[in-house]
Every structure is written in C-alpha cells, then in structure tokens.
Amino acid sequence: MGAPRYPLLSIARLRMGIDGAGVNTLVGGAGCPLRCRWCINKKLLDEASAEMISAEELFDRVKIDDLYFRATGGGVTFGGGEALLYAVFIRRFRALCPEEWMIRAETSLAVSPALVRTAAGAVDEFIVDCKDTDEAVYRAYTGGDGNLMWENLRLLCSLVAPERILVRVPLIPGYNTPAHQARSVDHLKKLGLTRFDLFSYVVRE
C-alpha cells in the first residue's frame, strides 16, 4: 500500500477562537459517509473535486505558521467532510509535526472503529458533532447509523481522556428539540464526557 493521501479542499490560516485554543490552520477535506439534511457544503461529499496531497506536501504548506502554533498552543485542525476517514494520513502527518503543535479533528464518528483507534494515537483533541443520541432523530437527519456513532464514542472515551473530547450537540431545525438536546447531554455525561458545545444549526434553504 502506498503512502496515504488527503483530499484537500481548502486551507484557512490564522484562525483564532474557532477551532480551540491558540492560532489554528483549518485543513478542509472532502468525503463524508453521512448525508445530513442541512449540510452546509455538499461539495465536501464529492472527493472528485479535491486535490490529493501527501502528508509531506501538507506539512510544507502549513509550516509557515509554526511560530504562531508554538507561541499560542494552536496547530492544525482537520475538518470536512469526515476527518477520521483519513486517520492513517493524520497519523503520518502528526509524525512530521513538532510535538508542540496541537492536532485536532472534527468528526461525526461515522467511521470504522479501526479508524477511531488509529486517530486516538495521532489526534490531540477531538471535536465530535454527535448530531443527536436519539437513534430515530439521528437516522432521519443523517441517513446514518446512530449506534455506530455511540459505540465509537464509547470506544474513544476508553482510549483518550475526556478533556481531549469536545462534543458539539446541535439543535437541528425540523429534526430535534431543546428537550432532545438536553437528553443527549445527559447521555453523554454518562460516558464521563465533560465538554459540550450546545448550539443551533442555522438553516438557509
């Protein structure tokens, strides 16, 4: 098997207060197994539109902000799309980076458990968009399997400390309610999770 490549859509530099502590570069990738009704960018689902790059090429493009990353506790955030589809790539990229860089990944956890295990050894902080822990809501909104998300979240909690996981719990217009949102947080707390971001999707049809 050759070196893993990443379907790059965009690089956004010098982000502050959006992807976690410090100055961060957001690396946007294509591809996602879910089909969320209010997905803001359907292009993310189409890998054909992306540039396939190696970990070394990506490192060369983002290292310009090395000093900012080190000075502020920031680093590189993989977004998408579904970042953990590329866990093997992220592991290779992490090995190239200075230890001081924070590597973050935005994920819905709609991937195989093997990829979650790989990512656990390479990613410093996970930003998990759980959608909703109610299986019926999850399936209706994403077309995917809420049980897979839940089992992967349990797995991730067994592999990394809860402080390394931020769970985004959205209010999804037309699909769930504030009561669902509160119930999801209750479920998530039972896994030992402590960091939540409650917010509402903004829908533009």
Contact footprint for ligand SF4 (CB under 6 A): 32, 34-36, 39, 44, 80-82, 108
Closest distance to ligand SF4 from the beta carbon of 80 (Å): 6
Nearer to ligand SF4, 23 or 153 (CB): 153
Helix (H) or strand (E) holding 87: helix 87-96
Radius of gyration of the chain (CA): 16
Separation between Cα atoms, residue 121 and residue 99, nearest integer Å: 13
Closest to 77 measured CA to CA, from 162, 5, 13, 19: 19
Tokens describing residue 180: 């669902």
Give the residue with the Cβ less far from ligand SF4, 23 or 111.
111
- Largest Cα–Cα distance in the chain? 48
Residue 22 token pair: 């410090």
